[in-house]
Structure 1
């Protein structure tokens, strides 16, 4: 702490209330000629309210709650004053014994009191002089403080002015710097622009120099050309002189050519007339060809309609035969050998090389001939074998059906033949199309097809056809509602392929309505159909749930019968007519022999094969019974209840439906015996009379 601070602290403690008053210095030690300096506290008190307030406020020292330290100004004790003794009175010769003792004592006391009064008076005068000197010092100090405050105010004002000037100078400096930077940028841009202009001027000068050189070259060339032209002109002049004689002869030739042109123009006019006649004849022939083609199409349509009418009147089940092509899996050497190897070993057999494909195809292909190239109704099978005596034996079997499709036939060609039959369900007929054949003959491909548009099967194509026909009939006042169901008959058990639960959880029963001819199955999921895309989704769902397994005959053999039923109900508001029809599309399980399929070693496959063959045998019994009944044996019992399959198809086989069987054959020579069995069964079906299909229609019920 500085000395001034200590002095200020001491002065504040001196004048603080509650503190003992500082003792004055001793009179003997005080200098009466030197005026006393007023204390800083007094000067500060005199200056209160005058001048600017202090810049900082002094902070009071902290107080202690335990002990209060008191700072007192150190004062010196007053000097000891020796008692003033009165001057010694001169001794006389008179004896002192003449005065009494009390008189001397009284006088001495009065003299001492007078002396003390004088001293006190002198002390008071000294105190007053000290007080006046202190007041003078205080006044002088206040004046000095006032002058210092004025100087301080002036200095602060000068400081503020200098600060403002400094800020203004800094602002101006920043402005100058920005202007300098802008000027530098502008100078740099001007330099760049000047450099670009210089470059452009130099490039322009170079271009001008190049143009000047080119013009000089062109001028030189032009001068050379001019010289050559002058020489040419002179040459031409001489040539013209020589050609003047030739002009006369040329004029004569021109006249002759004009005469020849006139003759050619006459010939051209004659040719144009002849050409116009030919064009008219060609147009006439084209129209005639178009009319003939249209008549041919109409005749074909009429032929199909008449064919359907004949079939309806005849009452037979129509039969189509389709032979599938050779597949790559059929060309493997293991597929050509009659062995008992497992289906897994067949699936892992490598594909033959391309050069061996034709040889393997010739070895694998059975001798099948299609002699009817016009109507495509016949199929002939040939077989040659050696007897025990070594003689060659040749056999030939000829079969005739409503339509025979060769291996190269497409799905579209097959569907074109049944499209009119499928369309009958929109007119109120019950239509049934079922695929029959041995395992691996292509039944599922025919009915369900592949994943491309060209390989789509009969079921999705039939649904598309029905939706297309109903859309066309809506313009004639018809409104249709369609619903579908998809069932599976596996081991004589009906499963709902469109259901959400597990198989064999519900017991489904088949019921026939004798009045309406409608067949229903209890507790099955019937879905309302609104578009062909929805039907394809349902078919994919059903196909994923269908029971399949691998056998020696087919790697993915259908081990169940599938029945897709499309019910359609139409109503015409104009004619007040209502019709109800149904379309049953059936994919039968493949018929196979136990020794061929290799199912004898597997208990599940054995049971499946036995049930499949039993249901197909029941179908054959029904067909045979229907044939005998059609021959006049009216009391013949039809065993529909021997199988769930025949009982479900009772209305389709009993004459109340248009029925078509698509027989699928394998082209392999190893399957010749199974193909012959299937052909004989199809012939029996084709010769069976079941009656005439009836249209299910009635007038609309008015409200």
Structure 2
């Protein structure tokens, strides 16, 4: 809907006089416009017209130029024509119009046509008169022109008043049309709003109708499904009814047969009642027997408790008797074992078998070595050396036979005693094989067999109230330096110190102590330790052990029934090879020389400790025991003292070339075998008082 344009005003005609152009108002569908019409002809002097007041302007343009049904279109006003100025008359007027004030005529400069030459000012008076007459005529003409202008101005003012009245009327009509247009627009907006509301209601009705149709279709499908289910159920009910009819017919036949059987059952019931009476009598007799049996069971249970108590006491007695037997055998014992020949021994013609005889075929406690030689005179000289030990094992003896006697010491360890078993001998005599053994069960050494024995004994003692915890460590003493074979750090990096507490327990600082739960775990630990042990090549053996290895198994036991606890340790030592410098060939190598000197020093210290212990055991006073002379003896202080049981396994080579080294080892073992270190002390105590 378009708006009517506001009538424009020509700013060039503000005065009351009518300009040379006039305004014409035309009505068209787009609105009322004022058209400026230019008329031809001469233009009189213009005067400013008075401005149209603001109240006469149209403040709001029309929204729609189309006339309404009740809208009257005013007639177009007549076009204004520009008045023509009257023709000036040359007739002289002597009167002045009274409508305008007199004006002072501007001075008229004489033109060149009226000028005359003034020759010596002869005709000055006549020329002055002519000029005055002309001046008067001009004044008269100006007066007539001003009168005509005044008349035109009055007439133009009247025309302007009529035009203003027409403009006011047009403005009123415009206001009426604007109000009607605004009302029409408001009505149209309301109708559109109502149309939108009606459209939304129609959409909602359509959606509701569609939902109702969908619900009806779903209800129809459900009804159809229920109808099918009911038909299937009806079919099944009919089949069940047929079966029930057949069953009823069968039951009727059965009832007829059961009527006959009822009579038979009545007779049987009578007989069974008689049997029930007899059974009730037998039940009473059984109840009496049950009461008697429960009394006997209670007595048997008391007897079992008494027997368990006696068994625990018997276990204590067994431990004492076992310890007495071991003490009678000697708290320090020496076994001698000669290894068999191996293929590497037969590679050289110089490696001949030594003359070794075992005369004691019953107790196997003697060994005799002999040697034949020629003196400087060419006479044959035969030497013979005889030694006796607690047990001598011939080359064909198996690992199981060697461990049979050692197993008694493993039993003592679980009883709370400190036990030390060490293998002594020259390099290549079979010490490592005796202690660690081979990969098979038959070739297993003393260490894995002792651990298995300890685990087997602890499992048996669990039935008697004992609970045990075990832990192990593997150390190496190389050049008087302690290395942890189970640790992860590099050797010789940590400084390990040996400490002995008042309870007789020995500990080494910064050493990995592994809790043991099975014998197989010990086998894996031995393989790790063996791979890390220091070895070097000598003339006596390709891979000679150049260090002492000490495996310590610590056992802690507790009996909650008796309140007794015990703690023992089993030290299994594989000593380094003992040979002289000229035999080992280490004199030419500085490192090997240092190793051999350190080994011989520690073995000599071990002999001194054993000798000092023997002198003390013979009652020769409180002799000082030089444990601190070597790390080996200081580490085994509590296992070599009178509070322990010690076993030395002497290993010998069967070769004649090793005879001198074998004799040195046999003499040292004899010295140890003749030593008495006293009575072993059990490391156990009661929870409330020490035993």
Give the TM-score normalised by the residue count of structure 2. 0.52
Q: Which residue of 1 aligns with 2:337?
A: 322
Task: Answer yes or no: is 1:367 the counterpart of 2:355.
Answer: yes
CA contact (8 A) 1:319 1:402 kept: yes
Q: Which residue of 2 aligns with 1:608?
A: 595
Q: Which residue of 1 aligns with 2:445?
A: 457
| 1-structure distance, mates of 2:437, 2:345 | 19
Q: Which residue of 1 aligns with 2:482?
A: 494
Secondary structure in structure 2 of the residue aligned to 1:632: coil
Query: CA offsets per residue over residues 500-535 of structure 1, 9 Å max, x none?
Result: 01011111111112x311111111000000011111
Aligned-pair CA distance for 1:441? 0.4
Q: Which residue of 2 aligns with 1:469?
A: 457
Query: Structure 1 residues 313 and 517, CA, compared in 2 at 3 Å: closer, same or farther?
Result: farther
CA contact (8 A) 1:564 1:584 kept: yes
Q: Which residue of 2 aligns with 1:376?
A: 364
Secondary structure in structure 1 of the residue aligned to 2:610: helix
Query: CA offsets per residue over residues 167-188 of structure 1, 9 Å max, x none?
Result: xxxxxxxxxxxxxxxxxxxxxx
Aligned-pair CA distance for 1:575? 1.1
| 2-structure distance, mates of 1:661, 1:365 | 25
Aligned-pair CA distance for 1:589? 0.3
| 2-structure distance, mates of 1:665, 1:303 | 36
Which one of the candidate residues 445, 448, 457 is aligned to 2:433? Answer: 445
Query: CA offsets per residue over residues 225-281 of structure 1, 9 Å max, x none?
Result: xxxxxxxxxxxxxxxxxxxxxxxxxxxxxxxxxxxxxxxxxxxxxxxxxxxxxxxxx
Aligned-pair CA distance for 1:633? 2.2
Query: Structure 1 residues 493 and 418, CA, compared in 2 at 3 Å: closer, same or farther?
Result: same
Which one of the candidate residues 556, 574, 595 is aligned to 1:587? Answer: 574
CA contact (8 A) 2:350 2:657 kept: no
Task: Answer yes or no: is 1:408 the counterpart of 2:423.
Answer: no
Aligned-pair CA distance for 1:667? 0.6
Aligned-pair CA distance for 1:311? 4.5
Q: Which residue of 2 aligns with 1:281?
A: none
Which one of the candidate residues 603, 621, 629 is aligned to 1:634? Answer: 621
| 2-structure distance, mates of 1:314, 1:329 | 38
Secondary structure in structure 2 of the residue aligned to 1:461: helix
CA contact (8 A) 2:639 2:645 kept: yes
Secondary structure in structure 1 of the residue aligned to 2:511: coil
Task: Answer yes or no: is 1:566 the counterpart of 2:553.
Answer: yes
CA contact (8 A) 2:498 2:508 kept: yes
Structure 1 stretches of 4+ moved >3 Å: 302-308, 313-316
Query: Structure 1 residues 548 and 335, CA, compared in 2 at 3 Å: closer, same or farther?
Result: farther
Task: Answer yes or no: is 1:548 the counterpart of 2:530.
Answer: no
| 1-structure distance, mates of 2:464, 2:616 | 42
| 2-structure distance, mates of 1:305, 1:577 | 15
CA contact (8 A) 1:490 1:559 kept: yes
CA contact (8 A) 2:558 2:564 kept: yes
Give the number of the structure whose alpha-carbon radius of gyration is greater. Answer: 2
CA contact (8 A) 1:329 1:335 kept: no
| 2-structure distance, mates of 1:384, 1:495 | 45
Q: Which residue of 1 aligns with 2:54?
A: none
Query: Structure 1 residues 306 and 328, CA, compared in 2 at 3 Å: closer, same or farther?
Result: farther
Which one of the candidate residues 568, 584, 589 is aligned to 1:597? Answer: 584
Aligned-pair CA distance for 1:305? 9.8
Q: Which has the higher contact order (CA 8 A, sep 6+)?
A: 1
Query: Structure 1 residues 382 and 335, CA, compared in 2 at 3 Å: closer, same or farther?
Result: closer
Q: Which residue of 1 aligns with 2:673?
A: 686
Secondary structure in structure 1 of the residue aligned to 2:403: helix
| 2-structure distance, mates of 1:694, 1:305 | 11
- What does residue range 292-441 of structure 1 map to in structure 2 within 5 Å? 309-312=324-327, 315-333=330-348, 336=351, 364-441=352-429
Secondary structure in structure 1 of the residue aligned to 2:623: coil
Secondary structure in structure 2 of the residue aligned to 1:535: helix
Which one of the candidate residues 652, 655, 660 is aligned to 1:673? Answer: 660
Q: Which residue of 2 aligns with 1:231?
A: none
CA contact (8 A) 2:627 2:633 kept: yes
Secondary structure in structure 1 of the residue aligned to 2:464: coil
Secondary structure in structure 1 of the residue aligned to 2:373: strand
Query: Structure 1 residues 701 and 500, CA, compared in 2 at 3 Å: closer, same or farther?
Result: farther
- What does residue range 141-180 of structure 1 map to in structure 2 within 5 Å? none
Give the TM-score normalised by the residue count of structure 1. 0.52
Aligned-pair CA distance for 1:626? 2.0
Secondary structure in structure 2 of the residue aligned to 1:475: helix
CA contact (8 A) 2:437 2:446 kept: yes
| 2-structure distance, mates of 1:495, 1:656 | 27
| 2-structure distance, mates of 1:534, 1:311 | 29
CA contact (8 A) 1:405 1:414 kept: yes
- What does residue range 516-527 of structure 1 map to in structure 2 within 5 Å? 516-527=503-514
| 1-structure distance, mates of 2:386, 2:334 | 15
Aligned-pair CA distance for 1:639? 1.2
- Which consecutive unaligned segments of at least 5 residues does structure 2 have? 1-316
Aligned-pair CA distance for 1:477? 1.3
| 1-structure distance, mates of 2:322, 2:430 | 27
- Indicate the RMSD between aligned Cα atoms, in angstroms: 2.0
Secondary structure in structure 1 of the residue aligned to 2:587: helix
| 1-structure distance, mates of 2:618, 2:684 | 30
Query: CA offsets per residue over residues 153-207 of structure 1, 9 Å max, x none?
Result: xxxxxxxxxxxxxxxxxxxxxxxxxxxxxxxxxxxxxxxxxxxxxxxxxxxxxxx
CA contact (8 A) 1:316 1:687 kept: no
Q: Which residue of 1 aligns with 2:119?
A: none
| 2-structure distance, mates of 1:331, 1:499 | 39
| 2-structure distance, mates of 1:672, 1:381 | 8
| 2-structure distance, mates of 1:407, 1:308 | 30
Aligned-pair CA distance for 1:335? 5.5
Q: Which residue of 2 aligns with 1:3?
A: none
Query: Structure 1 residues 701 and 497, CA, compared in 2 at 3 Å: closer, same or farther?
Result: farther
Query: Structure 1 residues 306 and 698, CA, compared in 2 at 3 Å: closer, same or farther?
Result: closer
Which one of the candidate residues 518, 526, 549 is aligned to 1:539? Answer: 526
| 1-structure distance, mates of 2:571, 2:646 | 9
Aligned-pair CA distance for 1:683? 0.6
| 2-structure distance, mates of 1:305, 1:676 | 38
Q: Which residue of 2 aligns with 1:346?
A: none
CA contact (8 A) 1:591 1:613 kept: yes
Q: Which residue of 1 aligns with 2:160?
A: none
Secondary structure in structure 2 of the residue aligned to 1:495: strand
Aligned-pair CA distance for 1:309? 2.5
Q: Which residue of 1 aligns with 2:687?
A: 700
Q: What is the total number of aligned residue pairs between the two structures? A: 373
| 2-structure distance, mates of 1:382, 1:566 | 40
